[in-house]
Amino acid sequence: MFHVFYPGETHNAARAGTLARMDARDEGIIVGLLLGEGHFGGDGRQPQITLRMHVRHEALMRWLVDRFPRSRLYGPYHHGSRNYFQWMARGEALVVDLLPILERHITPDLDGHAYDRLTSMTSDYATAIARLRARAAAVA
């Protein structure tokens, strides 16, 4: 099977799916970025987390893709005076790789609003998340 790169999707040669080894610092950076700038939602069928940042943060966005090889980086986009990249985690990249980190660290005490957004997403897409977790467990 192969992946077709759509217009605006940035190629990642390391997309083999092996999650990079992360330490507490890496997890803290990821959680902090997504607490402050991330969007927790979905497309009606599957959950997704999206992060948009100005092109001057390209190195940071590529760092995220290095940590989560199954995620996607799109862009750069140029709309009027806005120049940004968009990083997305969905499917296994979200459910198997990223969600356990977020569920471990995002608590009502840390950030009630972000916790509500995360739990709303996981509730709205509980069936899809359960299906992906079951598939990952069967392969492991």
Domain ranges, ordered by start, for the chain: 21-139
Q: Are 68 and 62 in contact (CB under 8 A)?
A: no
Angle at alpha carbon of residue 28, lines to 14 and 76, rounded to 5°: 45
For 49-77, what is the mean pLDDT?
97
Q: Are 31 and 102 in contact (CB under 8 A)?
A: yes
State pLDDT tens for residues 90-121: 999 999 999 999 999 999 999 999 999 999 99
For 33-55, what is the mean pLDDT?
96
Q: How confident is the model at residue 19 (pLDDT cuts 50, 70, 90)?
A: low
Q: Assign a CATH topology to domain 21-139.
A: Endonuclease I-creI (3.10.28)
Report pLDDT for 140: 73
Please state the separation of Cα 52 from the chain's center in Å: 11
Percent of the chain clearing pLDDT 70 (strictly above): 86
* Least reliable range by pLDDT among 15-29, 32-46, 105-119: 15-29
Report pLDDT for 13: 44
For 72-96, what is the mean pLDDT?
95
